[in-house]
Structure 1
């Protein structure tokens, strides 16, 4: 049976981008059911609009996608998923400010939890990263990682300067162990 330290060493070997002993993803909050407080018939109509909006966006018809997501928001203004989907369409359409606005709504309505909250945090983190707002991006990725997003966990590690330094040092140690005669890596 491996000790906790042994497991941390194995994690660092199999995931060299993860700082030694890091367990960001091991304390994930459960994703909650977001549908239970809404009228099922209204929710069905909104889901249908969202599915049609996603299909329109995937086919490149962003104008129709935006209209469908906006209609879903008009019908059910407290439904975080529609804001999250419209944010994606807005981002694809080049409207970063509008996308950030919709993501703020999605995060507020979801309480920053559940599947939609996690997705919105990841999207907002990516937009912050695009805008060179690394501190804000790191915060969003860390929150999404705690909700269970492995992508967000990876992004948080890449943005963490301490983790990058530790990973570089660990990489050098492993390089030296594998190649004792090789010159030091810069």
Structure 2
């Protein structure tokens, strides 16, 4: 099999599709990411304790968010914020279905940030939004030059 060369433009397009939250113009260097992933962290007693406390903190946060949603009966600004925060935690835990469900509830309650996150979780929608923003930016720049 031949080694295929991918142009910088192709890399940029793939980056926008699969990593829509990266700042525009940044690219994803797969080799660099793999090297970082395989670098081993020295697991001292302190590092292990920090990891344990982090897991416990997330469990306490989720329980608190569940309780807030229950007390608000799933309505209002507090519920919107709780759904958003719980959705973010679920997203970090790679529970995309649960994250989308919570963020959708938050979006229906008027959460603009939740709406933005839902779009960002859909790489095709994020790419379309970026492309549209680029086109609009070019049109505005062209209009300003004509004035």
Q: TM-score, normalised by structure 2?
A: 0.48
TM-score by length of 1: 0.39
